[in-house]
C-alpha cells in the first residue's frame, strides 16, 4: 500500500474493487489488525490499533469487528450451530445459545444447524460464516470476496444477507469484490490499483479521483510520506479513527 488518508463513517456500505495484486486484501488486513503498516497510524472507532499488542488486537476484533472470508474457515469438527456459538462462549455472553439459534434463523439455516461443514453446500457454509461474523454484534463487518467461491445464485443470496444485516443493524460493511454489479450497489465504491486509491465514488456524485475532497459526506485525502497508510473508520458517528 502507498500513502492514503481515508475516512469511512459509521454505517456506510463500501465496496473495494481493483485487479488482483492491487492491495484490496492488504487494506482489509490492515483494518482488521491482521497486518501492520510499516508507517502511519490506524484507528478503529477511536482506538489506535497500530500501538496494540496481539492480545489487545484480538480483544478489539472480538468486540467490534466481524470477518467473512472467501474460503469460509469453519471449524470442521463442529456443527453449524457450534461454529456460531463458539465466539460468543469465548466472550462469555450469557445468552449465547439463544443468540446462535437466532443468527442461524437470520441466514435461513435453522434446519441445518446440527450439520457439519462437510454436510453443507458452499452457499450454506458461507451463510454460517456470516452468522458467525455477526455473533459478536460487530460495529464493522469486513468481507473479503465472500461470493468468490459460489455460483451466481448462492452468491447473490449471500450478498443479500450481508446487505440485510448491514441495513437492519447499522453495521459498517466493507466488501472486497470483483463483481462490479455488486460493487455498484454500495453506498460508496473505492477502486485500488498498484496499492493506491485511484477513484472514490458514491451513488449521487459519480466518480471522483481520490483526494478531491468530500464524496457523499466523507472526506478522502491522499498524501504524506511514502509508505504511510491512514484509514479512518467509525463504529459511532462521534468516534472516528485514522488508519
The domains located in the chain, with CATH, are 4-77+137-233 (3.40.50.300)
Residue 41 has pLDDT above 60, yes or no: yes
pLDDT digits (tens, 9 = 90+) for 151-209: 888 788 888 888 887 888 888 999 998 888 889 989 999 999 999 999 988 754 444 43
DSSP secondary structure of 8-74: E-TT-EEEEE--TTSSHHHHHHHHHTSS--SBS-EEETTEEGGG--HHHHHHHHHHHEEEE-TT---
**What is the reported pLDDT for 231?**
46
The answer for residues whose C-beta is within 8 angstroms of residue 80's C-beta and 6 or more apart is 74, 104, 109, 112, 113, 114, 115, 116, 117, 120, 124, 128, 131
Residue 123 has pLDDT above 70, yes or no: yes
Strand 140-144, strand 65-68: pairing? parallel
pLDDT digits (tens, 9 = 90+) for 22-34: 999 989 999 999 9
Q: What is the mean pLDDT of residues 101-129?
A: 93
pLDDT digits (tens, 9 = 90+) for 50-102: 889 999 998 888 888 999 887 888 999 999 999 999 989 888 888 899 999 99
Question: Model's pTM, two decimal places?
Answer: 0.77
Residue 139 has pLDDT above 70, yes or no: yes
Quickly state the pLDDT bin for 221 (edges 50, 70, 90).
very low
**What is the reported pLDDT for 203?**
54
Number of neighbours of residue 204 by Cβ within 10 angstroms:
9
**What is the reported pLDDT for 1?**
82
Amino acid at each position: 500500500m502507498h500513502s492514503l488518508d481515508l475516512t469511512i463513517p459509521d454505517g456506510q456500505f463500501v465496496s473495494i474493487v481493483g485487479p488482483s495484486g492491487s492491495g484490496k486484501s492488504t487494506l482489509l488486513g490492515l483494518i482488521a489488525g491482521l497486518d501492520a503498516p510499516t508507517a502511519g497510524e490506524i484507528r478503529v472507532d477511536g482506538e489506535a490499533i497500530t500501538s496494540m499488542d496481539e492480545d489487545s488486537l484480538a480483544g478489539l476484533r472480538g468486540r467490534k469487528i466481524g470477518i467473512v472470508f472467501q474460503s469460509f474457515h469453519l471449524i470442521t469438527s463442529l456443527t453449524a450451530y457450534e461454529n456460531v456459538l463458539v465466539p460468543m462462549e469465548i466472550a462469555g455472553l450469557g445468552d449465547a445459545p439463544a443468540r446462535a439459534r437466532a443468527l442461524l434463523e437470520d441466514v435461513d439455516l435453522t434446519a441445518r444447524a446440527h450439520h457439519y461443514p462437510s454436510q453443507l453446500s458452499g452457499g450454506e457454509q458461507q451463510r454460517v460464516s456470516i452468522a458467525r461474523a455477526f455473533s459478536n454484534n460487530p460495529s464493522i463487518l469486513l468481507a473479503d470476496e465472500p461470493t468468490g467461491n459460489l455460483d451466481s445464485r448462492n452468491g447473490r443470496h449471500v450478498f443479500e444477507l450481508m446487505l440485510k444485516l448491514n441495513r437492519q443493524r447499522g453495521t459498517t460493511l466493507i466488501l472486497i469484490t470483483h463483481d462490479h454489479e455488486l460493487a455498484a450497489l454500495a453506498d460508496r465504491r473505492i477502486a485500488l490499483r498498484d496499492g493506491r486509491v485511484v477513484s472514490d465514488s458514491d451513488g449521487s456524485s459519480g466518480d471522483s479521483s481520490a483526494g478531491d475532497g468530500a464524496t457523499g459526506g466523507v472526506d478522502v485525502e491522499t498524501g504524506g510520506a511514502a509508505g504511510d497508510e491512514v484509514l479512518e473508520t467509525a463504529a459511532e458517528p462521534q468516534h472516528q479513527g485514522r488508519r
